[in-house]
Amino acid sequence: MGQPDHADVDLAVVLHALGDPVRLTLVRRMAEDGESACSPDGVDAPRSTLSNHWRILREAGITQTRRAGKARLMTLRRAELDARFPGLLAAVLAEDRR
């Protein structure tokens, strides 16, 4: 579904994707909850806008999407990101705790 191989994930693209507050919120939620629906509770954005955010995260290599019936569920590609860019995701997620 459009996610790159982890060897092809580009740091600049990942940083751009993480630079948006809504996308950063989605990543933080996945880090805490493990999996997210397309329209998670508490995220105040139109469905079409969320779809665009999910696409950007997926194409950057940050998430993967699986289908469960009619639903699409997103998960963080944490192991791949940690292998490709050690400490990056931990630093981004720790910033929220400051």
pLDDT for res 47: 82
**What tens digit of pLDDT does each residue of 24-75 get?**
999 999 999 888 888 777 788 888 889 999 999 999 999 999 988 888 899 9
Determine the length of the chain.
98
- Are residues 58 and 17 in contact, defined by beta-carbon separation less than 8 angstroms? no
Among 97, 95, 98, 86, residue whose Cα is nearest residue 19: 95
Position 65, amino acid: T
pLDDT-derived band at 1, boundaries 50, 70, 90: low
Give residue 17's identity as a one-letter amino acid code. A
Q: Which CATH architecture is the domain 6-95 placed in?
A: Orthogonal Bundle (1.10)
Kindly report the pTM of this predicted structure. 0.87
Residue where the block lists tokens 């954005």: 45
**The dihedral of CA 52, 56, 59, 64: what is its sign?**
negative
Contact criterion met (CB below 8 Å) for 65 and 3: yes
